[in-house]
Amino acid sequence: MNDIASASYRIGNDLLHERLGRLLAGPIDPDRPFVIGASTHGALYPLAAHIRAACMADATPVCLCAQDKTVMAAALLAALAGGPPLILPYAFDRPVLDELQGLTGFCTLVSDISRPVPAGVRCFVPAPGQATWPAADIAAPKPLDAPWLRLFTGGSTGAPKMWTKSVRNLLAETLAIIAHYRVSGQDRILATVSPNHIYGLLYAVLTPLLASAAVAAQTPSFPGEIEAAGRQAAASILVSVPAHYRALNGHRLALPALRLAFSSAGMLAEEDANAFSAQTGVAVAEIYGSTETGGIAARVRASGEKDFRPYPAIDVRIAGERLAVRSDYLSAELALGNDGYYEMGDRVQATANGRFALLGRADGIVKVGGRRVDLESVRQTLKRQPGVRDAVAISLPVGGGRENRIVAVVEADGEALDLGGEALSGLAPYARPRGIKVLPKIPMTAAGKYDRRTIAAMFQSGGLGAESIIVPGAAQGGEDGKEKG
């Protein structure tokens, strides 16, 4: 066993209570912008009072269904000040809301606009100037280990997964982000990721709230939009995802006020990180973690870092190739060991100076014809082919779920693309994809991750107008373990 970080991970209750009290006392600088051009830090508190007054009687969690960062921050304040915990859905469409309402029984939905809601649910749109922040009657803010927020993710199987975030989870991680990256009231943040996912929530709502910083209203996706929004906001911090850094690679980007950039929700390609840093002179901090664990470690390729260093507030250990973590950020639903550690689903290798290298997903190993195949190795082989910008390999069950067949999508223009047997000669025949679809862009979720459910559906329906390549000699993965062409 290898303990590669042995910090005292728990932040003291006294410090958390002090910061919690300071936050609920009201804004430090009421006139400082919160959402640039739209709201101030002072405007958050009357809006929070309106939400709190409207929802205090709710015996069930309140669903927060908004894109407006002002409404999101105000709702978080209202919940923190003794209001009911919040539910953050992974999508806002009616079927998702119906499903989550059935799971949680919420009766109120707080939104920035009027929305269709499940039967028996009221849609509440708060308005400024309707209430005064009730600092005097917040005698007992929400306890540190009480649920503050429940996030639902779609999950790889389509069944929603719930992750509870306590006051301690979110407050401790936000304070750590502010301290580690020296975020101040002078910073102006641009996020290209939705604030309705944990990464965007932490960096584009909670961080500016607790640091008295400002955040751009927009959530741009395309290179021209990102540059325009960044220049308009005079952004000093960019919060983005690998798909957007890939789109920015080759775009002439000029953001003169930028000092720091973040990437999360997937692995950032080295060429995209290097291209961004060369173009802007700004390093990209790549964050490793998940919704349920919070941020665990980071690396900065522009500083020559190839592997990840755990954050100071995280305890990390490695047994074999399995990574286990312990921190204040772990969701209550995680199965922890007796010592408080949670074993991750990633394979890692300890490296020098307390760092670790990622080797791929432990659950990315599948059986084809009785033989083990690493899907990450298949992906990397495809990515090395000329003309391929990106690739994803997935496994689909066959034979009643007892076996798998491998399929893949590649992001390429499709012109003179050769993905035949010679191109895949580095893979054993049984590890080669049974089919490959060529797309101009790989489908992504709103959180900036590969949309594996959509990709799987493409091979069942042949949809999205993708060009299919059937790879000769690839294994079908029959029960007899023999390769079939």
Same domain, 376 and 336: no
Residue 477 lies in a domain: no
How far apart are the C-alpha atoms of 349 and 481, rounded to whole Å? Answer: 31
Strand-pairing partners, residue 409, are: 392, 437
Same domain, 330 and 203: yes
Nearest to 208 by CA among 234, 232, 185: 185
At residue 16, the pLDDT reads 92
| CA dist 127 → 43, 75, 136 (Å) | 11, 12, 22
Domain ends where: 362, 395, 418?
362
Same domain, 57 and 115: yes
At residue 421, the pLDDT reads 74
Three-class DSSP category at 145: coil
Same domain, 274 and 394: no
**CATH of residue 419:** 3.30.300.30
Residue numbers of the domain that contains 256: 1-6+164-362
| CA dist 142 → 16, 77, 148, 208 (Å) | 12, 10, 8, 21
Same domain, 225 and 318: yes
The per-residue pLDDT string of the chain (485 residues; one tens digit each, 9 = 90 and over) reads 454 444 455 678 899 999 999 999 999 999 999 999 999 999 999 999 999 999 988 889 999 999 999 999 999 999 999 889 999 998 898 988 999 999 999 999 999 999 999 999 999 999 887 788 876 666 568 899 999 999 987 644 456 788 999 999 999 999 999 999 999 999 999 999 999 899 999 999 999 999 999 999 999 999 999 999 999 999 999 999 998 999 999 888 899 999 999 999 878 888 999 999 999 999 999 999 999 999 999 999 988 888 999 999 899 998 888 899 999 999 999 999 988 999 988 888 899 888 999 877 666 777 776 677 888 888 888 988 888 988 999 888 764 444 678 899 999 886 667 787 778 888 888 888 988 999 989 998 877 778 888 888 888 765 444 555 655 444 444 333 332 22
Same domain, 315 and 464: no
At residue 139, the pLDDT reads 58
At residue 446, the pLDDT reads 73
Same domain, 301 and 393: no
Is there a contact between 235 and 256 (Cβ–Cβ < 8 Å)? no
Residue 476 lies in a domain: no
Residue 262 lies in a domain: yes
Residue 352 lies in a domain: yes
Residue 21 lies in a domain: no
pTM of the model as a whole = 0.79
Same domain, 432 and 378: yes
Q: Can you say how many angstroms the Cα of residue 9 is from the centroid of all Cα atoms in its chain? A: 22
Q: Which residues contact 386 (CB under 8 A, 6 or more apart)?
A: 418
What single-letter DSSP state applies at residue 157? T
Residue 13 lies in a domain: no
Domain ends where: 107, 142, 177?
142
Same domain, 428 and 354: no
Nearest to 413 by CA among 385, 389, 391: 389
Question: Which segments of 154-307 does DSSP mark as H helices, in order?
Answer: 167-180, 198-201, 207-211, 223-233, 242-248, 270-280
Residue with tokens 């580095």: 426
Q: Can you say how many angstroms the Cα of residue 436 is from the centroid of all Cα atoms in its chain? A: 27
Residue 192 lies in a domain: yes
The strand order across the sheet containing 2-5 reads 2-5, 315-319, 322-326, 342-350, 356-361
Same domain, 168 and 224: yes
Residue 50 lies in a domain: yes
Same domain, 240 and 265: yes
At residue 363, the pLDDT reads 66
How many domains does one find in the chain? 3
At residue 370, the pLDDT reads 60
Taking the CA atoms of 318, 321, 327 and 333 in sequence, report the sign of the dihedral they define.
negative
Phi-psi region of 399 (alpha: psi -120 to 50; beta: other; left: phi over 0): left
Same domain, 278 and 416: no
